[in-house]
Structure 1
């Protein structure tokens, strides 16, 4: 009986340790996802601005006539 209790205590301690580790990892991953989403938004805005500038430049080019 004492041995079974000791084994259960050891398993409970291991599970608690794993839980804490996974919770910490989840927190780190959530922060990373938030940072990547922010970076993605910034890059999307830059791309949109670049497309707008390129479209404006293309609109200013004279049209070629086929000879």
Structure 2
């Protein structure tokens, strides 16, 4: 019976550790969601920039493009 208080103390520590890990996990999940949203935003901005560059390249005269590659 003397092991019962020791066991109860270990269980209490395990419960506290579990709660701490659950909070950490929740914070990390929020951080991942924020980073995913930021990544998606950056991918969207990159796609828009590429489209603008492609549109500008399409407006250049053909001889301008070939002269640049001859250098």
In structure 2, the gaps of 5 or more residues are none
Q: CA RMSD in A?
A: 1.2
Aligned residue for 2:32?
33
- Please identify which structure carries the higher helix content: 2
| Aligned equivalents of 1:63, 1:18: Cα separation in 2 | 67
Q: TM-score, normalised by structure 1?
A: 0.89
Separation (CA, whole Å) in 2 of partners of 1:15 and 1:62: 71
TM-score w.r.t. length of structure 2 = 0.85
* Equivalence map 1:16-31=2 (5 Å): 16-31=15-30
Give unmatched runs, 5+ long, in structure 1: none
